C-alpha cells in the first residue's frame, strides 16, 4: 500500500508480473509504465492506462511504485558509442576481438569536425566517413539523417519497444553489415537504458504531433497528444544539445509540486523529444476576458505561480524565463510553472542573450546576474500580464526603449481595474536593488491574504480550461 493516494495523471512502474488478468484487470509485466486514471472506492485499487499497449484496467496499489527521479550523472550519454576524437588505429584496437556488426563512431583526427563510422566485419574494421550535406549527415548521399543518433539508432534494451526506424541497425544499406552491437566508450552509461529503467522512456507509437506552438534556439515546441493527454513536445535535434538537455530532464524528474508542470517522459527519435503537460495562461485569459474570469480567479492563478516559484527558490533553482506564456492552466484550473529549458542552479555570469528583455531584471540584462530575485522581477511583469488579461507588457515600446526606460526608473502603470494592493506588489517586485525585492514566500503570503479578502468563494471563471477553443495564431 502506498503511504499516500496517487492523483490522476501520476506515472507509476509495475513491480511484478500480471499476465493472466481477471475481467476488467490490466495485464502487465514487471517494469511497465502505467498512468493512474482514477482511484477506486477501495483504496487498494486503481484504474490505470498502460503506456505500451494503451489498454485501461484495474490493478492493485501494491503492484505499483512511483517513478524514480533521474540522477544528473555526467557519465550518462545518449551516444555511448561515440568515442570522441580518436585515430583510426585506436578505433581498430577498441573493436577487438573482431565481431561482425560491432561498431563505434569517432571524430576524425585528420578532418576535425567530421565523423567516422567504424564497423567490424570479418577480420577487418571498415571506416565510413560521414558527410555533411545541407545541414544533414550521410554516408552514401542517398539516405540523409538529422544527427548521429538518427543514423545509428541501435536496438533498444530487451523488452522495450523500438523508439524509431533503427536505420543501420535494421538495414545495412551502403555499409558492409548491419550495426549489431555498440562498443561503449569506457566510463559512459547508456541514457536510453537508464531512462527505461527509471520509467521515463516513452513509446513513440503513442505520440501524435500537432501544430508548432513555439520555436526556441534549440528546436521546435509542438502541440501533441500522448495516450489521449494533451502535451507539449520539445524536439531537440542537435545531438550535442540533446545531450546537454539530459540535465534538464534530470532536474524535471526531481521537481514534484502541484504548481510545476509535470514531465511525462522523453522519446529518443531524431534527437530527443521532451514530453510535458501543455496549456497556456495567455490564451486562457485572452479568449475569456473580464466577462468570464473574475478577480479572485486571477488572484488564484497568481498565487499558484508564486507557490510554484517558492518551491523552485527553495531548491536554489532560477527559472530565467518566467512569463505568462510559460504558465499552464490545467483542466481543473490549476496554474503550473512551465518551461525549465533555462532553469539553472543559482549562480552568476550566465549567458543573457536568450532572455526576453521585457521580462528580465535590469541586473540580469546589464551584468548577467541571475538569481531568484531576478525571477521575482519577472513575476511582477507576469502579474501585470495576468491583471491585463493577457496583454503584452510595455505596450507600444520597443525592446531598446524598454531597456533604457527601466534603467532610468520607469515602471508600468497598473492595468485597468487592477486592485491597488496588486499594483503595489508589482512595484515591490520591480525594486532596482535586488535585495529589496520580496522572496516568493512573502509574495505567496500576500496573494493568499488578498484572495481571502476578495472572497475565495466568488465564482472562479465558470469554465474549464478546455471549454473554449483557442484561436489559431494567438500563441505569443
Catalytic residues: 321
Task: Write the CA distances from 461 to 197, 306, 467, integer angstroms.
Answer: 42, 20, 11
The DSSP secondary structure of 203-215, one letter per residue, reads PGGGEEEEEEEEE
Determine the length of the chain: 476
Closest CA to 144 of 133, 154, 155: 133
Q: Hunting for cell 499497449 — which residue is that?
A: 53
* Contact between residue 129 and residue 118 where contact means Cβ atoms under 8 Å apart: no
What is d(CA 65, CA 371) in angstroms, rounded to the nearest whole number?
Answer: 35
* Contact between residue 67 and residue 11 where contact means Cβ atoms under 8 Å apart: yes
Report which secondary-structure segment, H or E, holds 385. helix 372-387
Is 234 within any annotated ligand binding site?
yes
What is d(CA 150, CA 237) in angstroms, rounded to the nearest whole number?
Answer: 9
The DSSP secondary structure of 82-150, one letter per residue, reads EEEE--HHHHHHHT-S--TTEEEEEE-SSSTT-EEEEEEETTEEEEEEEEEETTEEESSSSSEESSHHH
**Cα(first)–Cα(last) distance of the chain, in Å?**
45
Report which secondary-structure segment, H or E, holds 399. helix 399-407
Query: How do beta strands 11-14 and 344-345 pair?
Result: unpaired
What is d(CA 223, CA 233) in angstroms, rounded to the nearest whole number?
Answer: 6
Q: What angle do CA 357, 363, 365 make, to 5 degrees?
A: 30
SS3 231: strand
Residue 451 backbone dihedrals phi, psi, to 5 degrees? -65, -40
* Contact between residue 299 and residue 447 where contact means Cβ atoms under 8 Å apart: yes
CB neighbourhood size of 143 (10 A): 15
**Looking at the DSSP assignment, which residues form a beta bridge with residue 120?**
125
For the record, the C-alpha cell of 170 comes out as: 535494421
Task: Write the CA distances from 74 to 44, 79, 318, 343, integer angstroms.
Answer: 39, 13, 21, 18
Binding-site residue ranges for ATP: 234
Amino acid at each position: 500500500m502506498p503511504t499516500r493516494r496517487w492523483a490522476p495523471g501520476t506515472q507509476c512502474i509495475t513491480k511484478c508480473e500480471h499476465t493472466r488478468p481477471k475481467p476488467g484487470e490490466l495485464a502487465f509485466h514487471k517494469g511497465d509504465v502505467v498512468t493512474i486514471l482514477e482511484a477506486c472506492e477501495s483504496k487498494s485499487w486503481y484504474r490505470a492506462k498502460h503506456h505500451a499497449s494503451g489498454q485501461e484496467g484495474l490493478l492493485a496499489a501494491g503492484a505499483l511504485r512511483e517513478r524514480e527521479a533521474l540522477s544528473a550523472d555526467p557519465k550518462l550519454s545518449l551516444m555511448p558509442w561515440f568515442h570522441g576524437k580518436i585515430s583510426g588505429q585506436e578505433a581498430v584496437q577498441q573493436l577487438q576481438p573482431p565481431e561482425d556488426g560491432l561498431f563505434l563512431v569517432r571524430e576524425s583526427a585528420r578532418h576535425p569536425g567530421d565523423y567516422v563510422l567504424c564497423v567490424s566485419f570479418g577480420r577487418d574494421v571498415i571506416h565510413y566517413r560521414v558527410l555533411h550535406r545541407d545541414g544533414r549527415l550521410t554516408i552514401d548521399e542517398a539516405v540523409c539523417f538529422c544527427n548521429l543518433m538518427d543514423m545509428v539508432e541501435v536496438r533498444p534494451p530487451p523488452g522495450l519497444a523500438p523508439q524509431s526506424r533503427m536505420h543501420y541497425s535494421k538495414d545495412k544499406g551502403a555499409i558492409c553489415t548491419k550495426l549489431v552491437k555498440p562498443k561503449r566508450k569506457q566510463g559512459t552509461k547508456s541514457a536510453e537504458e537508464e531512462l527505461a529503467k527509471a520509467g521515463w522512456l516513452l513509446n513513440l507509437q503513442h505520440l501524435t504531433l500537432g501544430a508548432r506552438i513555439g520555436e526556441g534556439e534549440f528546436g521546435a515546441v509542438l502541440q501533441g497528444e500522448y495516450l489521449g493527454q494533451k502535451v507539449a513536445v520539445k524536439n531537440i535535434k542537435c545531438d550535442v544539445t540533446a545531450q546537454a538537455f539530459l540535465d534538464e530532464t534530470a532536474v524535471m524528474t526531481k521537481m514534484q509540486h502541484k504548481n510545476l508542470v509535470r514531465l511525462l517522459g522523453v522519446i529518443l527519435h531524431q534527437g530527443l523529444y521532451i514530453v510535458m503537460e501543455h496549456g497556456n495562461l495567455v490564451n486562457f485569459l485572452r479568449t475569456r476576458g473580464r466577462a468570464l474570469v473574475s478577480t479572485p480567479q486571477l488572484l488564484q492563478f497568481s498565487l499558484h505561480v508564486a507557490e510554484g516559484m517558492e518551491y523552485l527558490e527553495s531548491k536554489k533553482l532560477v527559472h530565467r524565463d518566467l512569463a505568462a506564456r510559460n504558465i499552464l492552466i490545467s483542466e481543473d484550473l490549476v496554474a503550473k510553472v512551465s518551461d525549465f529549458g533555462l532553469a539553472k542552479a543559482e549562480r552568476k555570469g550566465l549567458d543573457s542573450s536568450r532572455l526576453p528583455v521585457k521580462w528580465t531584471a535590469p541586473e540580469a540584462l546589464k551584468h548577467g546576474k541571475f538569481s531568484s530575485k531576478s525571477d521575482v522581477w519577472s513575476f511582477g511583469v507576469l502579474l501585470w500580464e495576468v491583471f491585463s488579461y493577457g496583454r503584452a507588457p510595455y505596450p507600444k515600446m520597443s525592446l531598446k526603449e524598454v531597456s533604457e526606460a527601466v534603467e532610468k526608473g520607469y515602471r508600468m502603470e497598473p492595468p485597468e481595474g487592477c486592485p491597488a494592493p496588486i499594483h503595489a506588489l508589482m512595484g515591490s517586485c520591480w525594486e532596482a536593488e535586488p535585495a529589496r525585492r520580496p522572496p516568493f514566500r512573502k509574495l505567496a503570503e500576500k496573494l493568499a491574504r488578498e484572495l481571502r479578502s476578495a472572497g475565495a468563494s466568488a465564482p472562479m471563471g465558470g469554465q474549464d480550461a478546455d471549454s473554449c477553443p483557442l484561436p489559431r495564431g494567438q500563441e505569443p
